Chain A
């Protein structure tokens, strides 16, 4: 068995410590910042998606996807959210178009609803990605 000097042991401990902390910042940011932002925006996105559900090809599947997405947001489960996100996004897109057609929002304002949906999708991707996959 190899005998390590005190210096070698200290160096190994320092390297181990760096590895321990290496993945912490991204994980903490997801937990402390991204999840609250998603939870805050979810009611608006959910309302758009529910409103658009009857305008997509499979309304029941869309409503179920919205329900599952709500559960995933509450559980901060990025993988589950990512799995249903395409269906929710399609439904929310239809819901936003319906809001504009119904005169709930004007042509300038509707862009903000679309922008929120786009940013929500970006945040879903960031939540679901492994920390190293987001950083470039």
Chain B
């Protein structure tokens, strides 16, 4: 996602989406590829609505920006949860090893 306003409608959409991601804090983790693809799809649909001269463009544009921010935020949360789960796995393994070592040191069966 370039996020630069290049004078085209889609360029402006991408810039607005990038601004929304920064505002919501998603930019602290750079957008993974799937988020960029999703944002591009949303910008494309809004551009189609614009090209077809449909009514309610500001409403549609805002909805698309919100959708991208929500999609990206959920992606960040899921990534963070996977990170937590990995840490928990490491901690569990360390605890098991620690209890084994302790039992051995105390001369009791683990």
Report whether chain A binds chain B.
yes
**Chain A residues at the B interface, C-beta cutoff of 8 Å:** 2, 8, 11-12, 14-15, 18-19, 21-26, 28-30, 32-34, 36-38, 40-41, 44-45, 99, 103-113, 115-116, 118-120, 122-123, 126, 131-132, 134-136
A40 to B102, CA, bound (A): 51
Known A109-B59, A116-B66; 13 more pairs at CB < 8 Å = A15-B91, A19-B91, A25-B84, A29-B81, A33-B77, A34-B74, A37-B24, A38-B73, A45-B66, A109-B45, A109-B46, A120-B66, A126-B78
Q: Which of A26, A38, A44, A113 contacts B81 (CB 8 A)?
A: A26
Q: Tell me which residues across on chain B come within 8 A of A24, comparing CB atoms.
A: 84
Does A119 contact B52, Cβ atoms closer than 8 Å?
Answer: no
Which residues, 44 to 81 on B, are CB-close (under 8 Å) to A?
45-46, 48-49, 52, 54-57, 59-64, 66-67, 69-74, 76-81
Does B84 contact A37, Cβ atoms closer than 8 Å?
Answer: no
Does B85 contact A105, Cβ atoms closer than 8 Å?
Answer: no
A116 to B88, CA, bound (A): 33
Does A40 contact B80, Cβ atoms closer than 8 Å?
Answer: no
Task: With a 10 A CB-CB cut-off, give which of A2, A45, A131 has the most chain B CB atoms.
Answer: A131
Q: What bracket does the count of chain B residues touching chain A fall in?
A: 35 or more
Nearest-Cβ distance from residue B62 to partner chain A, whole angstroms: 6
Q: Which of B28, B46, B84, B94 contacts A15 (CB 8 A)?
A: B94
Does B23 contact A40, Cβ atoms closer than 8 Å?
Answer: yes
Does A44 contact B63, Cβ atoms closer than 8 Å?
Answer: yes
